[in-house]
Amino acid sequence: TGVWAVDRDMTWLQVEGDMVYAAHEVTSYAGVPGGAVSRWNMTTDGLHKLEFVSLPTASPAHLLVSLEDDLAFAANYGGHSWSAIRLENGRLADISYHEVFGAGCRDASHPHQTVRYGAWVWV
């Protein structure tokens, strides 16, 4: 049975058809250190969690899902990082790329958003 009040840590949502993708702005999720991204099925009964992917660092501030590229992008301000998550037919698969912004970045850079235009992706 699904519910509508599902997870208070879901801070960014993107709806694609009957699927909801969510960023979890936390330092650990399901007992695993780091933030998380999850996918939910939206029905008349509520939301049903299908799967989640743990991120290597904490606190994703923004999530961008690109079904046409089979990728999701998480800007993780708490972990000073950015993650690309591989999708398989819309399903969350695994982390395909992760970059931490550290020494040499202005003001200890911490990404807040990802923007996509055509083949270009900006963090």
Q: What is the pLDDT of residue 3?
A: 53
Q: What is the pLDDT of residues 16-65, one digit of tens each?
A: 999 999 999 999 999 999 999 999 998 888 889 999 999 999 999 999 99
Task: Tell me the C-alpha distance between 67 and 46, whole Å.
Answer: 23
Structure tokens at 9: 């840590």
Q: Which of the four pLDDT bands, split at 50, 70 and 90, describes residue 79?
A: confident
Q: pLDDT higher for 90 or 10?
A: 90
Mean pLDDT for the chain overall: 88
- How many C-beta atoms surround the C-beta of residue 15 within 10 A? 11
Residue 38, class by beta-carbon neighbours within 10 Å (0-12 exposed, 13-18 middle, 19+ buried)? buried
Q: What is the pLDDT of residue 1?
A: 47
Q: What is the pTM of this model?
A: 0.88
